[in-house]
Amino acid sequence: MKKLIVSLFLPAFLLLSFWFTSCDSSNPEIYVTRDTVVIDVDTLVKEQKKAMRVKLNLVIQIAAFSNRIHAEDFSVKVKESLNTYPEIKTDNNNFFLVTVGSFSDNKKAEEYLVFVKSRGFKDAFIKNF
């Protein structure tokens, strides 16, 4: 008989104690209605600050070289293939980057990247300077 009482009431006691301890009323702003969480309006931020627009300076990077002469030789091939003058820029690691284009719109940069890749520069990618 003791085994029956222990086996029935012990799990019920544990479940009820867990349920009562999880129903904490220390945070009255948040409560649950069915499966929807409701948060009082007073706790929300009433004013939103305007997000600052990030100015983009996107370029298409075609190659990177540790030697400026190699970058200049490669830029001649880029000019012939793309019919535009590439720029040679340096990054923080003292690499010489061969880039083309200057875009402030991501969509236009992506369209031009497709064109650059179609001309044989498969490793080209968009970079923000």
pLDDT in tens, 100-110: 999 988 899 99
Domain assignment present for 82: yes
pLDDT beneath 70: ranges in the chain: 1-2, 4-6, 10, 17-54
pLDDT in tens, 25-41: 555 555 555 555 555 55
Q: Which two tokens stand for residue 98?
A: 């061969």
Range of the domain at 68: 58-128
Q: Give pLDDT, residue 36.
A: 59
Report how many domains make up the chain: 1
Domain assignment present for 113: yes
Q: Which two tokens stand for residue 43?
A: 């706790």
pTM above 0.85, yes or no: no
Q: Give pLDDT, residue 42.
A: 52
Domain assignment present for 32: no
Domain assignment present for 85: yes
Integer CA distances (angstroms), 116 to 44, 92, 102, 122, in order: 47, 25, 13, 8
Indicate the SS3 state at residue 92: coil
Cβ atoms < 10 Å from Cβ of 92: 5
Domain assignment present for 9: no
CATH code, 76 = 3.30.70.1070
Q: Give pLDDT, residue 45.
A: 52
- Site of tokens 């997000």: 51
